[in-house]
Structure 1
Amino acid sequence: MRLGVLDVGSNTVHLLVVDAHPGARPLPAYSHKAELRLAQLLDESGAIDPEGVGKLIDTVQSALEVAEDKGVESLLPFATSAVREASNADEVLARVKAATGVELQVLTGEDEARLTFLAARRWFGWSAGRLLVLDIGGGSLEIAYGMDEEPDAAVSLPLGAGRLTSGWLPADPPDAADVRALRRHVRAQIARTVGEFSRLGSPDHVVATSKTFKQLARIAGAARSTEGLYIQRELKRRTLEDWVPRLASMTALERAELPGVSPGRSGQLLAGALVAEGAMDLFGVETVEICPWALREGVILRRLDHMPTE
């Protein structure tokens, strides 16, 4: 059947259309994205402002029209940290449902970590052994570890690249003191979780998902996305450590000229790099392998797991 996953994230609203059947690999059929940046549409009280709600409704309606055009039989709509943490989340969800008929499922941070872990496990298989999975979104950092399809530990930290950029790095290029302060904040937050994972033993394989990690790997020399999903892509901590001060010295416009970096994401790439560097350092990781599948694929896989086979 043809499924649509509607992901209302902190940066984008992304509709992924796939052809999927129980026991088979989901095959991407179409992708539709709109940059909404909900995390930046909050007022002083932490609520998504009326203009932002209106934009969200219009974007969801547009995605519904695309889904219909592409023959989607079932839509799986969900929202992550930007909606989850908005002080008027219930009102936003009600208005979206009233205007579009779409009932967004709000995932917890732990849900995000567990579903992303499931996607990584299915991608790499059982031979990967104990997996440590890192995912940097616009609003949060997810970390999960385990041997099975359900992780033994899963946490979500408020260390998303978009959130940190708007809250800590107002200047362009950023002020050196602000960068140092953000670096300290990121590492202090991550350090609080390390013990929970280290008691479980060393991972056999460390993987990273998300646009942030993909872009960092690309500027560090990984293959282009046009070369396909099955090319192995890695990011080494030593290379990332070399890139962080370079990114800190650049404007957003200059970062957008780097290979694989989109103009819409260039402003928050430094914050994402600081989170990636901090996580790899504090967890003692020298290299991460980039996983093409992430949260959206995890949502699809979980749905397929609960569908009856014919």
Structure 2
Amino acid sequence: MRIGVLDIGSNTGHLLVVDAYRGAPPLPAYTYKEPLRLAEHLDEQGAVDERGRKALVRFVDEARVVAAEKGCSEVIAFATSAVRDAVNADDVLSLVERESGVALQVLPGEEEARLTFLAVRRWFGWSSGRLGVFDIGGGSLEIACGSDESPDVCTSLPLGAGRLTREWFPTGVPTDEQYEALRLAVRQRIAEQAGSLMRAGGFDHAVATSKTFRSLARLSGAAPSEQGPYVRRMLERDALAAVLEELRRMPVDEIAMQPGVSANRAHQMVAGAVVADAVMDLFDLGGLEVCPWALREGVLLERHDHM
């Protein structure tokens, strides 16, 4: 069965076409994506602006056509933080459905964390024991932990790399004062949740997902994506600290030239690294293993289970 998973994130619109078979992992067949940067198309009132709405409608309509051309019998379409938090979310969803015929489901932050956790559990299996999963998106940070396929506890915090960049670094390269203010604010927000997340115990296996973590791991010396998904990739805390010190003083165009960094995300790498550094420090993690599966795979796996 060929299924399309349409993910409208805060940074990117991404259609993943997969072949799903009972008793086998979903096999990617085609991918179609575009940088929408919806988190940066919120006006002063917190509404998705006209430019953002037009880009979203156009991409969703194009993704619908691509999914049909690739033979998808079903398209699972959802949106995350940028649409979820927009004050005009209902109007945006109605516009998209009216113009493209695609009904986007908005995932709550905790549901996003739960489905990402499911994907990580399926990838690494039961031998990982108690999992701690961290995902830095464009608009939010998701954290989940537990010993089963569903996490014992999960949370979503408004600490996405795109959101923080827009709010704290409006002129590009941050000043020392802007950097330090963000660093402390991020740590305070994560620390408010750390106690409840760790109350049931620590982690046997700490895992990171998302493009931000993958890019940071690559900058720290992890294998490039060309070597495939089965190569073990780690983000070490000490290596991240060194990378962060370099990134925070680089102009954006120089960051975009670094290995593993895409041009459309280069401007938010510093904010993403600040969040990753805070996570590893406050949860006392020496390293995070990077998982190639995340939210899209979690959505697909749950749908596959119900087939």
What TM-score, normalized by structure 2, do the two folds share? Answer: 0.99
Aligned amino acid, residue 89 of structure 2: A
What's 1:241 paired with?
A: 241
Within-5 A mapping of 1:3-42: 3-42=3-42
Post-superposition CA distance 1:248-280 (Å, at most 9, x none): 000111111111111111100000000000001
Identity %: 58
What's 1:256 paired with?
A: 256
Measure the CA separation in 2 of the matches of 1:187 and 1:205. Answer: 22
Measure the CA separation in 2 of the matches of 1:9 and 1:172. Answer: 22
What's 1:292 paired with?
A: 292
Q: Deviation at 1:171?
A: 2.3
What's 2:101 paired with?
A: 101
Post-superposition CA distance 1:69-107 (Å, at most 9, x none): 111110000000100010000011011111111110000
Q: Deviation at 1:42?
A: 1.3
Measure the CA separation in 1 of the matches of 2:171 and 2:51. Answer: 25
Measure the CA separation in 2 of the matches of 1:287 and 1:39. Answer: 29
Q: Deviation at 1:51?
A: 2.5
Measure the CA separation in 1 of the matches of 2:97 and 2:118. Answer: 29
SS in 1 for 2:7: strand
SS in 2 for 1:139: coil
Aligned amino acid, residue 227 of structure 1: Q
Measure the CA separation in 2 of the matches of 1:27 and 1:184. Answer: 42
Measure the CA separation in 1 of the matches of 2:82 and 2:94. Answer: 16
Aligned amino acid, residue 215 of structure 1: S
Measure the CA separation in 2 of the matches of 1:82 and 1:198. Answer: 28
Measure the CA separation in 2 of the matches of 1:213 and 1:50. Answer: 31
Matched, 1:304 2:304: yes
What's 1:121 paired with?
A: 121
Measure the CA separation in 2 of the matches of 1:136 and 1:123. Answer: 19
Measure the CA separation in 2 of the matches of 1:97 and 1:265. Answer: 28
Q: Deviation at 1:53?
A: 1.2
SS in 2 for 1:3: strand
SS in 1 for 2:260: coil
SS in 2 for 1:267: helix
Measure the CA separation in 1 of the matches of 2:63 and 2:103. Answer: 14
Post-superposition CA distance 1:213-247 (Å, at most 9, x none): 00000010000100000000000001111111111
Post-superposition CA distance 1:98-135 (Å, at most 9, x none): 11111100000000000000000000000010000000
What's 1:133 paired with?
A: 133
Within-5 A mapping of 1:132-281: 132-281=132-281
Q: Deviation at 1:23?
A: 2.4
Measure the CA separation in 2 of the matches of 1:291 and 1:255. Answer: 23
Range with bigger deviation, 142-151 or 53-62: 53-62
Q: Gapped runs of 5+ residues in structure 2?
A: none
Measure the CA separation in 2 of the matches of 1:224 and 1:90. Answer: 40
Post-superposition CA distance 1:153-203 (Å, at most 9, x none): 100000000000011012232111100000011000000011012211111
Measure the CA separation in 1 of the matches of 2:51 and 2:165. Answer: 22
Measure the CA separation in 1 of the matches of 2:131 and 2:219. Answer: 25
Aligned amino acid, residue 213 of structure 2: F
SS in 2 for 1:75: strand
Measure the CA separation in 1 of the matches of 2:251 and 2:242. Answer: 17
SS in 1 for 2:33: strand
CA RMSD of aligned residues (A): 0.7
What's 2:90 paired with?
A: 90
Aligned residues: 307
Aligned amino acid, residue 218 of structure 1: R
Aligned amino acid, residue 230 of structure 1: Y
- The list of structure 1 runs, each at least 4 consecutive aligned residues, that deviate by more than 4 angstroms after superposition, is none
